[in-house]
Amino acid sequence: MKFPYLKEAIKSVFKKPSTEIYPIVNKEAPEGYRGKINYYPEKCVNCGMCIRVCAPGCITRTIEKTEEGDKITFNFYQGQCTFCSLCADFCPRGAIELTKNYHLAVTDEKDLLVSGTFIKKLPPKPPVQPQQQVQNQQNQGAAKTE
């Protein structure tokens, strides 16, 4: 009739319990924790790598034609995200960053949506040549190659 852990049980009654009283003592997430996404629209170049690489496909892009360029908004819907941070790794410009903020308990769905918009100015459009010149350039091109 052996009683396992009897000694530890009695000893631990007198020791301090090892509970972190979370809501009172705010706990910092460990280094490199992949939490909430931070999106820096100014760095983004709308290359779409993150969309292609995101497994659950929770990144969506909306492009809107405006006069000074197309207004591009990226929506990171974290409700569907697996926090694998592939998007952050593949982003050539480092526009996406997963912070250590793990407070993702939300009551309405909107808070999980991280979005950022930027206006991508098109390169200065070369002057519009009349139709005729366009064909000449093409013929010269063709002649050069022969």
Partner 1 sequence: MFKKLIEKSFEKSPWLFHLNTGSCNGCDIEIVSVITPRYDAERMGFKLTGSPRHADIILVTGPITSQSRDRLIRTLAQVPDPKVVVSIGSCPRSTNVFNGSYSVEGPLDKYVPIDVSIAGCPPKPEAIIDGLAKAIEILREKRRAMK
Partner 2 sequence: MVVLKYLFNVLVFPGLLFSALVGLLLSGLDRKVVARMQKRIGPPIIQPIYDFFKLLGKETIVPRAASRRTFLYAPVIGLLALVTVTLFIPIYKYTAISTVADIIVILYLLTIPAVALIMGGAASGSPYAGVGISREMVAIISYELPLVIVLLTIGKHVGMALNKGVITFSLSQIVSYQAEFGPMITNWRLIPAALALLLIIPIKVGSLPFDIAEAEIEICEGPLVEYSGAPLAIFKLNHAIKMFIMTSLFVTLFLSGKGTGILILDIVLQVLLSAVIVVISISTLKAITARLKVEQVLKFFWTYPTALALISLILVWIGR
Which residues lie near partner 2 (CB under 8 A)? 1, 3-6, 9-10, 12-13, 15, 17-19, 21
- Select the residue interacting with partner 1 from 44, 58, 72, 91 (CB under 8 A): 58
Nearer to partner 2, 17 or 127 (CB): 17
User: Cβ(50)–Cβ(39) under 8 Å?
Assistant: no
CA distance 43 to 93: 6
Query: Which long-range contacts (C-beta less than 8 Å, at least 24 apart) are formed by 66-70?
Result: 66/119, 68/119, 68/121, 69/119, 69/120, 69/121, 69/122, 70/119, 70/120, 70/122
Residues 100-139 that bind partner 1 (CB under 8 A): 102-107, 109, 112
Stretch touching partner 1 by CB under 8 A, among 14-22, 43-51, 63-71, 121-129: 14-22
Nearer to partner 1, 1 or 105 (CB): 105
